[in-house]
Amino acid sequence: MTTTAAHLEAENLTAGHQSVAVFSGVDLNLAPGTIHGIIGPNGAGKSTLLSALGAMHPATSGAVRVAGHPLAALNAREKAHLRAHVPQGLDSESEYTVESFVALGRYAHRTRFSPLTGSDRGAIAQALDRTGVTHLARRQLQSLSGGQRQLVAIAKALAQEASFLLLDEPLSALDPRHQLEVLQVLRACAADSVGVAIVMHDLTLAGRLCHRLSVLAHGRIHASGRPEEVLTPKILAEVYGVEAVVNTDPHTGAPSVTLLAPLLTAAH
């Protein structure tokens, strides 16, 4: 299957839990070289949508395709070539060091029980370096802070060298410096033609990082477009039930959101 410049496309996607739909009729196009943010209120189903985009959560109806091929029909190794997933947080797994855990990202590039090649080791070293955790390589995962484990999870995904990177709130456990470093890493991935989908809660950071935003609310995509088209007082009132002011940040040129107060007449 040729995936050069292919898009990851969700068409009329519906998914949920225990026969209850979390969202329905979702259309979303993740393009190479684009950072696509998924935002919305708590409980809207953003994490489920991200997992469904990666064919890790089964769809009730609709499909996700890459280069016209249903992602769910591919085997595990083929999926791993196409998409890497960074979940919320990383549970400590005492049997792994940081380096050995990041090496798991090379699964798609190796045969079973084969030793690491020079290419594997180079990808692992680069992933550790890009996420700033090379100095932790020999540490056990259980000895790390939550923020450090989050960076290691991102490093594993980078070592996978997949065409698409799916991240579920990767910045939530990070301090400001590490947040900025991850923003730089994701921009570099996009510059290398990787498609990035990222679930975020910080609206100003989302406006700064993402090329496109989709708002998931009330079981559907409420709005989708460039950050300045999506992060408007009207849409924020409709989706979050808040009064907000949106300005253009003079330093970044991106939308900057100031939340003022909850709306007493919010419909949710």
Give CA–CA dist 152/138, Å, rounded.
Answer: 12
DSSP helix/strand/coil, 206: helix
- Residue 19: pLDDT band (50, 70, 90) is confident
pLDDT for residue 201 is more than 80: yes
Per the document, the length of the chain is 268
For 165, the token pair is 């990177």
pLDDT for residue 247 is more than 80: yes
- Residue 190: pLDDT band (50, 70, 90) is very high
How many domains is the chain built from?
1
**Backbone torsions φ then ψ of 225, nearest 5 degrees:** 160, -165
Range of the domain at 90: 8-262
pLDDT for residue 111 is more than 90: no
Q: In sequence order, which residues have a C-beta less than 8 Å from that of residue 210 and are 6 or more positions away?
A: 35, 36, 37, 198, 200, 227
Q: Is residue 153 part of a domain?
A: yes
The predicted pLDDT at position 93 comes to 59
Give CA–CA dist 123/42, Å, rounded.
Answer: 36
Q: Is residue 37 part of a domain?
A: yes
Segment 232-256 shows an average pLDDT of: 97
Q: Is residue 2 part of a domain?
A: no
The predicted pLDDT at position 260 comes to 96
Which CATH number covers residue 256? 3.40.50.300
CB 133 within 8 A of CB 151: yes
**Backbone torsions φ then ψ of 104, nearest 5 degrees:** -60, -25
The predicted pLDDT at position 161 comes to 95
Residues 149-164 pLDDT 10s:
999 999 999 999 999 9
Q: Is residue 268 part of a domain?
A: no
Under the phi-then-psi rule, with left for phi > 0, alpha for psi from -120 to 50, and beta for the rest, what region is 39? beta
pLDDT for residue 90 is more than 90: no
pLDDT for residue 4 is more than 70: no
The predicted pLDDT at position 113 comes to 72
- Residue 264: pLDDT band (50, 70, 90) is confident
The predicted pLDDT at position 3 comes to 53
* DSSP line for 62-77: EEEEETTEEGGGS-HH
Alpha helix stretches (DSSP H) within the chain:
46-53, 76-82, 98-103, 118-130, 146-159, 176-191, 203-209, 227-230, 233-240
Residue pointed to by tokens 């855990």? 101
Q: Is residue 33 part of a domain?
A: yes
- Residue 215: pLDDT band (50, 70, 90) is very high
- 91 or 129, greater pLDDT: 129
Q: Is residue 40 part of a domain?
A: yes
For 184, the token pair is 């730089």
- 108 or 201, greater pLDDT: 201
Pick the closest to residue 80 from 114, 107, 51 (CA basis).
107
The predicted pLDDT at position 78 comes to 92
Give CA–CA dist 211/194, Å, rounded.
Answer: 13
The predicted pLDDT at position 64 comes to 97
CB 150 within 8 A of CB 100: no
Give CA–CA dist 210/54, Å, rounded.
Answer: 19
- 89 or 198, greater pLDDT: 198
Cα of 77 vs its chain's centroid, Å: 20
